[in-house]
Amino acid sequence: MARITYIEFSGVAHVVDVAAGLSVMEGAVKNNVPGIDAECGGAMACGTCHVYVDREWLEKTGPKSADEDQMIGFAVNIEDNSRLACQIKVTDALDGLVVRTPERQHD
Ligand code: FES
């Protein structure tokens, strides 16, 4: 279990407990956290689960795979701390994780 804080672009924060084994995207969707569309359901085929990982957590969330790196190019307004939330697996080590959702998931 990890407590994850999702911060909307507007600044509204949602703090939810997410079971280990789920993805950061699934944690948002199951808890009705807005700002993550996740249109492909986690198949890494849409780029609409884009989040910005708080810089303090980049090491613990780990690097993107080559496939994620390619797919994230379809997301809007990517930054160096951008990730696809469906590709971040929740573990107990991510307890306290902070991610921010972008202004929008589509152009
Ligand atoms: S949910 Fe589609 S790429 Fe993550």
Q: Is 97 helix (H, G, I), strand (E, B) or coil?
A: coil
Residue 104 pLDDT greater than 90, yes or no: yes
Q: Say how far apart CA 57 and CA 47 lie, in whole Å.
A: 21
Q: Say how far apart CA 47 and CA 50 lie, in whole Å.
A: 6
Residue pLDDT, tens place only, 6-19: 999 999 999 999 99
Average pLDDT of the residues of the chain: 97
Ligand 1 site-directed mutation target among 23, 37, 48, most atoms within 8 Å of CB = 48
Looking at per-residue confidence, does 107 or 81 come out higher? 81
Cα three-residue angle 51-28-62, rounded to 5 degrees: 45
Residue 107 pLDDT greater than 90, yes or no: no
Q: Is 29 helix (H, G, I), strand (E, B) or coil?
A: helix
- Going by CA atoms, what residue is nearest to atom 3 of ligand 1? 44
Q: For ligand 1, is residue 40 a contact (CB within 6 Å)?
A: yes
Residue pLDDT, tens place only, 39-72: 999 999 999 999 999 999 999 999 999 999 999 9
